[in-house]
A = this chain, B = another copy of it.
Amino acid sequence: MVVYAGQGDPRRSIELLWRASAAEKRPGPKPGLSVDAIVDAAIEVADEQGMAFSMRAVGERLGRTAMALYTYVPGKNELVDLMYDRAMAEVPTSYDLGEGWRPAVTRWAHDMWECYRRHPWVLQVSQARPVLGPHEFAVTEALAAILVSTGLPGRRLRGIVGAINYFVRGAAQTVAEARAAGGATGQADEEWWYARSAVLIEVEPDLEKKFPMLHVLEQDREPVDPELPYLENDAVENFRGGLKVLLDGVEGAVAKP
């Protein structure tokens, strides 16, 4: 429910993200934990329980109390930023341009999509205020490097980068939340959908007449992967179709700049 955006001390946050720690000899007991260990544990917990993971849960996974984490990390906001940047580290940062920009962008989009699916909580980290970690930079740099090869000016590229980013995020969000919701309640997508739509038809029998165009949208469905649940199937189909249209638009911009 809370929008997560780093709000604490900027210096502390940035130094943590870039691991700019002066590793001097220091007195006191040897640290039993490390920022990396905490971030790893937190990601594990978040992968299982979603963004509503708690500091207590992370501490418990490490055999410590919640308060022990505050020795390494200023607070939950900053921890989330660190988790975000670590997740971005999983995405490749170099793409072969041998076959042109389009296959490269497509691969980038798929890699991002996969990362979002492995770590759905990433989609709930604020985008407006970039986390400004090294791997977030690297990921955007990778997309920028591909698109700069089109020769388009920066002015055009910014909109395109934004559009591709928004699209991949949005498409991934649809699946991620379908899974998260299903997992939280133990209800499969189909069950959820069925229960709702059954009541809906009962309450509003004229649904198709009131919204005829939505019905047109439903025509012509073909299964993408029969293994996947209903909503997920939908999202994969939309992802492919939408990305194609989006890249067609980019192609148009490249052709006539």
Q: Is A67 located at the chain interface by the 8 A CB criterion?
A: no
From A167, which residue of chain B is reached at the shortest CB distance? B166
Contact flags A120-139 to B (C-beta < 8 A → 1, else 0):
00001011110010100110
Q: Are B166 and A10 in contact (CB under 8 A)?
A: no
Contact flags A145-171 to B (C-beta < 8 A → 1, else 0):
100100001111111111101110111
Take A162-B171, A162-B238, A219-B153 as given contacts and tell me if A128 and B4 are in contact as well, using a CB distance cutoff of 8 Å. Answer: no
Take A173-B127, A184-B7 as given contacts and tell me if A245 and B246 are in contact as well, using a CB distance cutoff of 8 Å. Answer: yes
From A54, which residue of chain B is reached at the shortest CB distance? B1
| CB contact between A245 and one of B11, B132, B250 (< 8 Å): that residue | B250
Q: Are B52 and A1 in contact (CB under 8 A)?
A: yes
Number of copies: 2
Total chain A interface residues with beta-carbon distance under 8 A: 100
From A168, which residue of chain B is reached at the shortest CB distance? B166
A130 smallest CB distance to B (angstroms): 9
Q: Which residues of B contact A134 (CB under 8 A)?
A: 204
| CB contact between A217 and one of B20, B132, B154, B216 (< 8 Å): that residue | B154
Q: Is A222 located at the chain interface by the 8 A CB criterion?
A: yes
Q: Is A240 located at the chain interface by the 8 A CB criterion?
A: yes
| CB contact between A50 and one of B3, B18, B163 (< 8 Å): that residue | B3
Q: Are A177 and B5 in contact (CB under 8 A)?
A: yes
Q: Is A140 located at the chain interface by the 8 A CB criterion?
A: yes
Q: Which residues of B contact A214 (CB under 8 A)?
A: 137, 140-141, 144
Within 8 A of B (CB), among A200-247: 200, 203-204, 207, 210-214, 216-222, 231, 234-235, 237-247
Can you report 20 A-B residue pairs in the complex whose CB atoms are below 8 A from each other?
Answer: A1-B4, A127-B173, A128-B178, A128-B181, A129-B181, A129-B192, A132-B196, A132-B197, A140-B214, A141-B213, A154-B217, A155-B241, A159-B238, A162-B239, A163-B243, A163-B245, A166-B167, A247-B249, A248-B249, A252-B252
Considering the complex of A and B, which 4 residue pairs feature the smallest CB-CB distances, nearest first?
A: A159-B241, A166-B170, A249-B249, A128-B177
